[in-house]
Structure 1
């Protein structure tokens, strides 16, 4: 039988790739993350942030959380958005949230499908709700500010990381702001008496009964957004979660400010 020399001929016998995959020393796998030793629920995951990465955008920022969450954000504006004969009013903030096709493990909605579009639209609306109180839109009448967030990897607390990255990108673009909007996420497991966990990972969020994302303007001590839902127990439990989230935002604030200072020094040195 003649061979097709234009194709790569595979071997006659093949074996599954699992046979050659490296196995962890303890014999566990990624599926057993939920059985790992519990961490301190009040401990923050290490955060890495850098501003001024993209030369094509007027402002940009990258935020990464230990555990795999990676967010890249770009900001443009202010740009003229006036309509002929329109009234003069405050500027507008437009937010876009997109998920990379490879951002999460396992099955995901069909790219471009209705479910994914609805999730991205909901995340963009939450992002705008958290950022608008921090931006001095009255200083940009008849103008448009645009923020575009790309979730490169979803390792949990993605919306909170996106809020912090978008705030850094706007500040890096020179937009006048009252303060940085800092995001912090929390979740609670299935038991209503369980503790709230700061900055949960993907496995912790997947098994949670309630989630909460807090956005804070630390210098003003003003909460710009509270987003969440689920079965979190009594109202007192939600109050404790809110106080814990505010405290987490205040602890993250110095790292984000230091990131902006480093970006300003790099820009001045260039």
Structure 2
């Protein structure tokens, strides 16, 4: 095959530049000083995508960035159902993770299923008969706690991720901490009802008392996240809707938030 002289040939073998970055000892020292119950600083903003019925973006200080969108309600195919249907999709951008690039918008069925199970408890599907609601989450950067970040974007479901290292559970771990962990846990909570909406764990977390400790730590983190998410929703409502002309049905989520401002 003839050579293409217009291109500069790359090396036959290559290595990640991260292998030559010094500071591994510094990272371990900073992790040793980490407060296991501390939450990562979180930035959240809603109504970013004009094409979607609703959208939100969340970023954690560890580097995780997730963009979510809600579409519908649309007519559901396959016959009429008395109750609406929720369809969730979780995708990873090709540049989201370290290492080799993934295929464009690679889907993650396991996280999509966990997302759907947790959000089903927060969406009033009975009010949308014979309709389908679609939720799409796109992971832009994987810095750890990705499922918890996606869950915290819809309704007021708050979620926290944990990992176990050296016999201790860490709240909202980074990607590096998750990679070295022997067990992981994600907790989703409906704070207004004090009801667990989702629970996903894996790994060797030790005796049942250890998992119970992790659950208590996760629920406490969810309760501390709730005011931040509520304030983000309230700011968006004030910015996009004139409150003096706002007509909301009593009992809806936004009505409760505005009434308790």
Same fold (TM over 0.5): yes
User: Cα deviation per residue 1:147-197 (whole Å; 9 max; x = unaligned)?
Assistant: 0100000000000001112x1xxx4xxxxxxxx2111000001x3xx2110
Matched, 1:218 2:161: no
User: Cα deviation per residue 1:21-66 (whole Å; 9 max; x = unaligned)?
Assistant: 9x99xx526x963443420000000000000111111100000000
User: Cα deviation per residue 1:88-111 (whole Å; 9 max; x = unaligned)?
Assistant: 321000001000000011246x52
Alpha-carbon distance in 1 for matches of 2:98, 2:29: 18
Structure 2 contact 93–104 (Cα < 8 Å) conserved: no
For structure 2, list consecutive stretches of 5 or more residues without a partner in the other structure: 10-16, 243-261
The count of residues paired between Structure 1 and Structure 2 equals: 232
Partner of 2:118: 130
Partner of 1:57: 52
* Structure 1 counterpart SS, 2:94: coil
2:203 to 208, 222, 230: 230
1:102 to 82, 95, 106: 95
User: Within 5 Å, which residues of 2 pair with 1:1-270?
Assistant: 7=6, 28=23, 33-38=27-32, 39-83=34-78, 86-107=79-100, 110-111=102-103, 117=107, 120-165=108-153, 167=154, 171=155, 180-189=156-165, 191=166, 194-268=167-241
For structure 1, list consecutive stretches of 5 or more residues without a partner in the other structure: 11-17, 172-179
Alpha-carbon distance in 1 for matches of 2:241, 2:88: 29
Alpha-carbon distance in 2 for matches of 1:205, 1:198: 11
* Structure 1 counterpart SS, 2:181: coil
Alpha-carbon distance in 2 for matches of 1:140, 1:50: 26
**Higher relative contact order, structure no. (Cα contacts within 8 Å, ≥ 6 residues apart):** 1
Structure 1 contact 163–181 (Cα < 8 Å) conserved: yes
* Structure 2 counterpart SS, 1:155: coil
TM-score after normalising by structure 2: 0.81
Pairwise CA distance, 1:81:
1.0
* Structure 2 counterpart SS, 1:264: helix
Structure 2 contact 49–69 (Cα < 8 Å) conserved: yes
* Structure 2 counterpart SS, 1:68: coil
